[in-house]
A and B are shown apart, each in its own frame.
Chain A
Amino acid sequence: MASIRDLTEYVIQADIEKVKETTAALLAAGEDPLRLINEGLIPGINEVGERFKEGIMFVPEMMMSAQAMKAGVDLAKEKIEGVDIPTVGTVVIGTVAGDLHDIGKNLVSMMLDSSGFNVVDLGVDVPADKFVAAVKEHKASIVGLSALLTTTMPAMKEVIDALKESNLRDQVKVVIGGAPVTQAYADEIGADGYAPDAAIAVELCKKIA
């Protein structure tokens, strides 16, 4: 019979099937679902995070591990209907109006998700009012804006203005990113932070969440 410790190892190995199998077996044997999550699955992704920092594991491996952890968490959650699973914070993220580029945004989105954030990804070409509505609906604490084109960068400011108009600006931190975006531009439009890459974006969100 596999143990909770095996679950941790399977998350590190990103073996989705083994995680599912073991989680199901432990649950069937009467194991506490919250204990499975907190002592089996999450230590796995934490270890992956450590190995990533040390340069032993890379992002694709981290993402596969996150998927494996999720598969286990989903099974465990079925047994604890109604109990809130704590998250680090809620982030509303999207590529601003007029821009279809989403590789960088998706990467940030996936890495935030893997780091325990509740991520609401609005996709691409997102108008300012949609960001505002999502912040209200999901009670987000962070708004992430992405743009790859110099011509769509001004749309980032429009989102900040719209948040101000809706009296939401004080409730959320706005972080921006994208190839042509700079710290100077973040300062210029009054964003709370700028991240030059996905790993820094996650660090930044953890810091300000």
Chain B
Amino acid sequence: MEYASKHGDGIAFRTLTLQQLKDIHSASCRILDEVGVVVHHDEAVDLLKKGGAYIDSNGRTHIPEALIKRALHSAPSRITLYNRLGEPVIWMEKSNVHFGAGSDTLVYLDPFTGERRDWTTEEVAAAIRVVDALPQLDFVMSMGLLSDVDKRMINRIQYALMLKNSVKPQVVIAEDAPTVADITEMAAAAVGGREKLKNMPHFVLYCEPTSPLQLPFESVDKLLYAAENKIPVNFACGAVEGASTPVTVAGTVAQANAEALCGLVLHQLKNPGAPFLYGFGGSPLDMRTMVACYAVPEVLLLQGCVCDLSRFYSLPSWGYAGCSSSKDFDEQAITEATMFTVMGALQGCNLMHDVFYIESGRTGSLELLVLMDEVISRARHILKGVNTTPEYLAVEAVKRVGPGGNYMGDAHTAKHFREKWQPSLSDFSSYSSWEAAGSKSMRERIRERLRSIMEEHKPVPLAPEVEEKIDAVIKQAEDRLGIKL
């Protein structure tokens, strides 16, 4: 198996042994075979039945291991994502890591006033532009639920906002297949046609089962649409350990893996070779408060299992980073989000989302987002590992400088010092210089950065005719749904 570091065997974080991976795979196969799943989609049941699944008298679908093996064989082990300009920017394979924001938070935490309120269209657009500007964020998501548009149009309008305010690839939530069709139409307009989009994907679709072991109609419908149109897609359960999945990490992984594999089987039956993204996440139920918590240590272990399993299966991996269960952008938020980001990087998760989530996904914090940009940069530097070639072992420089000398004036220092990690927010100045510059706390520096991005950053605009096409898709959807403005 391959790990994150670029040098030698370098830096690696392994969660499971090969034997444990086999044990989990076997447990998941037993779940799909002995317990089965409930599939609320006729075409899907038909596909599974023809493929060799057994439908029992209670309507449960039991999936034999042979079907899983076939699906794992036909699914690609890597996916490239392209930005709106057609450049490859995300390579989901091996232990490559990429980070992005999250979707559909309910509450916008105003970074300048601290006020909590519903998201407006303008605030979501501004937040997407912030993600577009931050160099360590690789993809965008919808950030917040729009409170000022018709509920049925939220996902479509969010997508139009993503296209208009960022060139970065997206991970997309959609309520049903017709919504995905409209989103596909908008993406095709932006990148130069359906055929190009099919072969150079610009977005990933996020689908999920309803745990335990149910496949709702809309999710399956979207999954099949994605397979047909070669839209990269996941089938990622959001486990609530102790409620929707077993309370133990291993039990949750066994069940969530079964659900993901079940999605993969269906997906590959529909269109063998279509791109599938493997992964899932968890938020264990705190049994005292009955709140599902993000970013607790068990969840980081669970993600370690996801990453090891993805390499075991040779599938690209999907996960989480930079998020927290804290109610505010505070020390708890920073602790949890930083731990998740660093662990995710070491685990080598290919596509990590939810950077900027607080309150376990109910609230979005742009301050956390800006801080995580620097944390990701630190983590990425660690992943470079240690170069031990002769030039870097620097024996020649040691000879030149000799006992009692100083490396400051040596050519080797001048040649390599710029390779050192540099902060975008952290302050390394002396106390007196820091004081002279206004004694600004990290939080103040974060807000200044945010303010300047919000005032100055202009994403690469869409061509006017593309904007028109996107607006036309929105208009047609409104007409179809009978929405009067």
A residues less than 8 Å from B176 (CB atoms):
151
8 contacting pairs across A/B (C-beta < 8 A): A58-B287, A59-B290, A60-B242, A100-B210, A107-B243, A107-B290, A151-B152, A180-B145
- Residue from B154, B210, B247, B288 in contact with A150 in the complex, judged by beta carbons closer than 8 Å: B154
- 13 more contacts with CB within 8 A, not counting A100-B216, A153-B151, A180-B145, are A59-B290, A60-B242, A60-B247, A100-B210, A100-B214, A103-B243, A103-B244, A150-B154, A150-B175, A154-B151, A179-B362, A197-B291, A199-B290
A59 with B240, Cβ < 8 A, contacts A100-B210, A100-B214, A150-B154 known: no
Chain B residues closer than 8 Å to A153, beta-carbon distance: 151
Q: How many residues from A make CB contacts under 8 Å with B?
A: 19
Residue of B nearest to A55 (CB): B288
Q: Are B40 and A100 in contact (CB under 8 A)?
A: yes
| Shortest Cβ gap from B156 to chain A (Å) | 12
Q: Which of B221-246 contact A (CB under 8 A)?
A: 240, 242-244
Evaluate contact between B152 and A101: CB separation under 8 angstroms: no
A199: chain B residues at CB < 8 Å are: 289-290
In the complex, what residues of A have CB within 8 A of residue B151's CB?
A: 150-151, 153-154
- Inter-chain CA distance A171–B243, complex, in Å, is 33
Task: Report how far A197 CA is from B242 CA in the complex, Å.
Answer: 15
Size of B's binding interface in residues, CB under 8 A? 23
**Which 3 A-B residue pairs are closest in the complex by CB-CB distance?**
A58-B287, A103-B243, A198-B290
**Known contacts A151-B152, A199-B290: does B106 contact A101 (CB below 8 Å)?**
no
With an 8 A cutoff between CB atoms, is A182 at the interface?
Answer: yes
Query: Given A149-B175, A150-B145, A153-B151 in contact, is the A103-B240 Cβ separation under 8 Å?
Result: yes
Task: With CB as the reference atom, state the residue of chain B lying closest to A62.
Answer: B287
Q: Mark B242-281, 1 if CB is under 8 A from A, else 0.
A: 1110010000000000000000000000000000000000
Instruction: Give the chain A neighbours of B210 by CB distance below 8 A.
Output: 100-101
Query: Shortest beta-carbon distance, A137 to chain B, in Å?
Result: 27
| Assembled-state Cα–Cα distance A153/B291 (Å) | 21
A167-B415 Cα distance, complex, nearest whole Å = 83
Inter-chain CB contacts under 8 Å: number: 41
Q: Which residue of A lies closest to B245 (CB)?
A: A103
The complex places the Cα of A154 from the Cα of B175 at a distance, in Å, of 14
The answer to whether B175 and A58 touch across the interface, beta carbons within 8 angstroms, is: no
Per-position binary interface string of chain A over residues 145-186, scored 1 when its CB falls under 8 Å from any chain B CB and 0 otherwise = 000011101100000000000000000000000011010000
Are B242's CB and A182's CB within 8 A? no
Q: Does the CB pair B152–A197 fall under 8 Å?
A: no
B243 surroundings in chain A (CB, below 8 A):
103, 107
User: Which B residue sits closest to A108, measured CB to CB?
Assistant: B290
Complex Cα distance, B105 from A180, in Å, reads 9
In B362-382, the 8 Å CB interface with A consists of 362
Question: Complex formed: what's the CA distance from A2 to B210 in Å?
Answer: 46
Q: Is the CB of B154 within 8 A of A60?
A: no
Question: Smallest CB–CB gap between A136 and chain B, Å?
Answer: 29
Min C-beta distance of B289 to chain A, whole Å: 7
Query: CB-CB < 8 A to B40: which residues of A?
Result: 100
Interface string of A36-62 (1 = CB under 8 A from B): 000000000000000000010011100
- State which residues 68-120 of B face A: CB under 8 Å: 106
Which residues of chain A (124-148) have a CB below 8 Å from chain B?
none
Point out the residues of chain B lying under 8 angstroms from A180, CB to CB. Answer: 106, 145
| In the complex, residue of chain A having the shortest beta-carbon distance to the beta carbon of B287 | A58
Q: Are A197 and B240 in contact (CB under 8 A)?
A: no
Residue of B with least CB distance to A59: B287
Contact flags B286-301 to A (C-beta < 8 A → 1, else 0) = 0111110000000000
Is the Cβ of B106 less than 8 Å from the Cβ of A197?
no
Chain B residues contacting A107 (CB-CB under 8 Å) are 243, 290
B145, B152, B289, B362: which has the most chain A beta carbons within 10 Å? Answer: B289
